[in-house]
C-alpha cells in the first residue's frame, strides 16, 4: 500500500483501491489507463440484457424463449453466499433467448437472459 496525497492506494489484482478520508472506492486498472479507456465502450443501460450481478449459481429459471414477460416479473433466481437473489424484468416484452440453466455457475456480468428490445418507460 502507498500513501499518495493523503490517500491510501493499493493495487489488488487488476483493480486499484483508494481510501480517502472515510471513503473507499475502486476502479479497474483498464478504466484508469488512457489505452484501456479507448478499448472500453461506453456503458449505457441495457434493460433487455439480464446480466448476473454477482458470481453465483442459478437455482431457478422461470422463463423460456418466446414467453411474454411483465415489468417486475421474476425471470430467474440465483444464489450466492447462501442468499437467493431474484432477477426481474424491467420491460414488458418477450423473451428472446435464455442462456442460463439451473445449477450453472456463472461469473459476474454473464448474460443470463436476453429480452426483445422495447423502449423502457
Partner 1 sequence: MPKFSRVAIANRGEVAVRIIKACEELGLETVLLHSEADIHSRAFRMATHKVCIGPAATAESYLNIEANIQGAIAMGAQAVHPGFGFLSENADFAQRCEQAGLIFIGPSHQSIRTLGDKVSCKALAKKAGLPLVPGYEGADQTLQTLLKEVEVIGLPVIVKAAAGGGGRGMKLIRQMSEAAEQIESAQREAKSAFGSEIVFLEKYLDRAKHIEFQIFGDSTGKVMHLFDRECSVQRRHQKIIEEATSPSLTEDLRRKMGEVAVTLGTLGKYKGAGTVEFLLQDGQFYLLEVNTRLQVEHPVTEEVLGVDLVKMQILTAQDKFVWNDNEIRIPRGHSIECRIYAENSYMGGVPSTGLLGTVHWPEGPRRRYEFGFDKGDTITSHYDPMIAKAIVWDESRPRAIEKMIRVLKDSTVFGVHTNIPYLIEILSHPEFIDGTMTTRFIEKNFADGLKSKHVEADRKKLSQEVYKKFIAGGAGSGVTASAATTSENSPWLSHWRGI
In the complex, the residues that contact partner 1 under the rule CB under 8 A are 1-13, 15-19, 21-27, 29, 31-33, 53-56, 59-60, 74, 77, 79-86
Name which of 45 and 83 has its Cβ closer to partner 1.
83
Residue 36 grid coordinates: 484501456
Q: What is the three-state SS of 84-100?
A: EEEEECCCCEEEEEECC
What are the cell numbers at 99? 442462456
In the complex, what is the shortest distance from the CB of residue 93 to partner 1, in angstroms, rounded to a whole number? 21
CB of 66 to partner 1, least distance (A): 22
Q: How far is the CB of 42 from partner 1 (least distance, A)?
A: 13
The residues that bridge with 68 in the sheet, in sequence order, are 94
Q: Which is nearer to partner 1, 57 or 64 (CB)?
A: 57
Q: How far apart are CA 111 and CA 108, in angstroms?
A: 9
Q: How far is the CB of 11 from partner 1 (least distance, A)?
A: 4
Judged by CB, which is closer to partner 1: 56, or 98? 56
Pair type for strands 83-88 and 74-80: antiparallel
Residue with smaller CB distance to partner 1, 21 or 44: 21
Dihedrals phi, psi of 31, to nearest 5 degrees: -80, -15
Amino acid at each position: 500500500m502507498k500513501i499518495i496525497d493523503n490517500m491510501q492506494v493499493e493495487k489488488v489484482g487488476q483493480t486499484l483501491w483508494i481510501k480517502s478520508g472515510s471513503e473507499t472506492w475502486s476502479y479497474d486498472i483498464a478504466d484508469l489507463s488512457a489505452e484501456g479507456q479507448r478499448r472500453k465502450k461506453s456503458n449505457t443501460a441495457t434493460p433487455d440484457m439480464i446480466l448476473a450481478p454477482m458470481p453465483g449459481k442459478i437455482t431457478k429459471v422461470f422463463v423460456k424463449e418466446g414467453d411474454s414477460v411483465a415489468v417486475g416479473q421474476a425471470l430467474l433466481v440465483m444464489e450466492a453466499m447462501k442468499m437467493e437473489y431474484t432477477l426481474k424484468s424491467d420491460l414488458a416484452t418477450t423473451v428472446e433467448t435464455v442462456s442460463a440453466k439451473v445449477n450453472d455457475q456463472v461469473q459476474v456480468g454473464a448474460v443470463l437472459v436476453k429480452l426483445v428490445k422495447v423502449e423502457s418507460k
